[in-house]
C-alpha cells in the first residue's frame, strides 16, 4: 500500500478519500471526538456526483465512516454504488447493525476491510465506554458474521484510563475471533475543541504499564527522513464531512471548501489549505528538530486540535515517544 500512496502523491491525486457519511450514532462513547451539528447530510444524488468526480480524479479507495455509517437509511444503496463505480471500500463501524444478512451483502461488494473498535474483553467494560448495553455482544456477533463471509476485520483497541489494563485479554479475544489486532493511545479533543475527552488519556506511568503489557510492539515507526512529507493529509488523502465540507483529514479540520459550492476537483487542486500542506516537509515543523522523532509518529491533526496550530506537540505524542525510546534503549 505504501507504494500506491507514493505513486498517488507523485501524481498529485487523492488515493484514499474519507467519507464521513453521517455524524449520527447509536452509541455514546465517552472519548468520541465527533460533534453532530444536525445539518442536512449529503443525499444519495450528491454522493453520486461526488463519486463520479473522484473517479475522474483517479481516487481508488473510499473510507466510509461516521458517526455510525450504518444508521443512514440509504447505506446499502451508497455502498453498492461505490462498488459499482469501481472503488475499493474500507468501512469503519461499531458493528451494532451488522447481522448475517448485512455481512453477506458486504461480501458481494469491493470491501477491502471492516474496522471496528473494541474497548474491553467483557461486556461490562466495553459497554461502560460505549454507554450502550449490549454493544459488546453486537460487536462480537458482527465480527463472527464478517469473518464467516471472509471479510477482513481489523479490531482496534483504544487504550484509556478505564480500560488499558485489559489489553492482554482484548488481544486474546481478537485473535480468537480471527481478526487483526490494533491499538491506539491517542485521544484527541472533540471537533468543537472541547478538551473533555483528554482526561481519559494515559499519563506517562500508565503508558509505560500499557506498553509493558502489550509487550510486542506492533507499532515500530518507520525511519523518517526530515525531507519527507509529515503525513498524507492533503497529499494523497482528504476527508469530506456529511455536510460536504472538505478537510485534509478527520482531525485536521482546516476547511478547504464545500462540495455544494465547488467541485471536489477544483477544491483538491486549488484550495490554499491543501497547497500549504503540500509545500511543507517534516523539517518545516517542530518535529523536524525533535530528538524523539525516530520514536514518534507525529499527527499534525491531533496537534492542531489540541494546540490550534500544526506546528507544535502534545503531551500524549511526546509521552508515547518517550516510552518507545525507553523500550528501544532497553533492547
Partner 1 sequence: MREEIYRRKKGVVHRKILDEYILVDTREGEVLTLNEVGGEIWDLIDGRRSVAEIIRMLVEQYEVSEEDAEGDVEEFLTQLLEAGLIERVK
**Binds partner 1 (CB under 8 A): choice among 87, 136, 183, 211:** 87
Judged by CB, which is closer to partner 1: 58, or 131?
58
Which are the contacts of 257, defined by CB distance < 8 A and separation ≥ 6?
245, 246, 266, 267, 271
Chosen from ligand SF4, partner 1, none, partner binding at 1 (C-beta under 5 to 8 Å by type) = partner 1
Q: Determine, following the binding rule CB under 8 A, whether residue 76 of this chain makes contact with partner 1.
A: no
283: helix, strand or coil: helix
Q: Which does 4 bind (CB under 5 to 8 A by kind): ligand SF4, partner 1, none?
A: partner 1
Binding at 131: pick from partner 1, ligand SF4, none (beta carbon under 5-8 Å per type): none
Cα-flanking dihedrals φ and ψ of residue 181, to 5°?
-100, 130
- Residue 324, C-alpha cell as written in the block: 518507545
Question: Of 173 and 293, which CB lies nearer to ligand SF4 in the complex structure?
Answer: 293
Residue 112: HSE in the Cβ half-sphere, 13 Å Cα cutoff: 15
Residue that the C-alpha cell 517534516 belongs to: 282
Q: How many CA atoms lie within 13 A of 201 on its CB side?
A: 19
CB 228, min distance to ligand SF4, A: 13
Q: Taking the complex as a whole, how short is the minimal distance between the CB of residue 320 and ligand SF4, in angstroms?
A: 8
Query: By C-alpha distance, which of 318, 278, 283, 271 is closest to 299?
Result: 318
**Binding flag, residue 110, partner 1 (CB under 8 A):** yes
Among residues 40, 43, 52, 58, the one that binds partner 1 under rule CB under 8 A: 58
In the complex, minimum distance from the CB of residue 291 to partner 1, in angstroms, rounded to a whole number: 35
Separation between Cα atoms, residue 205 and residue 140, nearest integer Å = 31
Peptide bond into 67 cis (omega under 30): yes
Q: Is 88 among the residues that bind partner 1 (CB under 8 A)?
A: yes
Which of the 8 DSSP states describes residue 111? E
**Residues in touch with partner 1 (CB under 8 A):** 1, 3-4, 7-8, 10-11, 13, 58-61, 86-89, 110-113, 150, 152
Amino acid at each position: 500500500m505504501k507504494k500506491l500512496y507514493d505513486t498517488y502523491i507523485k501524481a498529485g491525486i487523492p488515493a484514499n478519500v474519507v467519507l464521513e457519511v453521517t455524524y449520527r450514532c447509536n452509541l455514546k462513547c465517552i472519548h468520541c471526538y465527533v460533534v453532530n451539528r444536525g445539518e442536512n447530510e449529503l443525499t444519495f444524488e450528491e454522493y453520486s456526483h461526488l463519486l463520479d468526480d473522484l473517479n475522474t480524479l483517479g481516487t481508488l479507495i473510499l473510507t466510509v465512516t461516521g458517526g455510525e455509517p450504518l444508521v443512514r437509511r440509504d447505506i446499502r444503496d451508497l455502498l453498492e454504488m461505490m462498488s459499482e463505480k469501481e472503488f475499493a471500500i474500507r468501512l469503519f463501524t461499531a458493528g451494532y447493525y451488522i447481522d448475517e444478512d448485512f455481512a453477506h451483502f458486504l461480501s458481494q461488494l469491493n470491501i477491502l476491510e471492516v474496522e471496528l473498535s473494541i474497548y474491553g474483553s467483557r461486556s461490562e467494560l466495553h459497554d461502560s465506554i460505549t454507554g450502550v448495553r449490549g454493544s459488546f455482544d453486537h460487536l462480537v456477533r458482527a465480527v463472527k458474521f464478517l469473518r464467516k463471509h471472509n471479510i477482513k476485520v481489523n479490531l482496534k483497541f483504544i487504550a484509556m484510563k478505564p480500560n488499558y489494563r485489559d489489553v492482554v485479554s482484548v488481544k486474546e479475544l481478537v485473535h480468537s475471533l480471527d481478526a487483526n489486532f490494533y491499538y491506539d493511545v491517542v485521544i484527541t479533543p472533540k471537533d468543537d475543541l472541547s478538551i473533555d475527552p483528554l482526561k481519559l488519556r494515559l499519563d506517562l506511568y500508565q503508558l509505560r504499564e500499557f506498553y509493558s503489557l502489550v509487550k510486542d510492539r506492533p507499532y515500530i515507526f518507520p525511519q523518517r527522513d526530515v525531507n519527507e512529507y509529515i503525513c498524507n493529509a492533503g497529499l494523497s488523502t482528504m476527508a469530506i464531512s456529511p455536510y460536504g465540507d472538505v478537510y485534509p483529514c478527520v482531525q485536521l479540520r482546516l476547511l478547504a471548501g464545500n462540495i455544494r459550492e465547488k467541485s471536489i476537483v477544483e477544491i483538491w487542486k486549488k484550495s490554499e489549505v491543501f497547497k500549504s500542506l503540500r509545500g511543507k516537509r517534516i523539517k518545516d515543523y517542530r518535529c523536524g528538530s525533535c530528538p524523539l522523532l525516530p520514536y514518534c509518529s507525529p499527527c499534525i491533526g491531533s496537534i492542531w486540535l489540541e494546540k490550534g496550530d500544526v506546528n507544535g506537540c502534545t503531551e500524549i505524542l511526546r509521552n508515547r515517544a518517550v516510552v518507545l525510546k525507553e523500550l528501544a534503549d532497553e533492547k
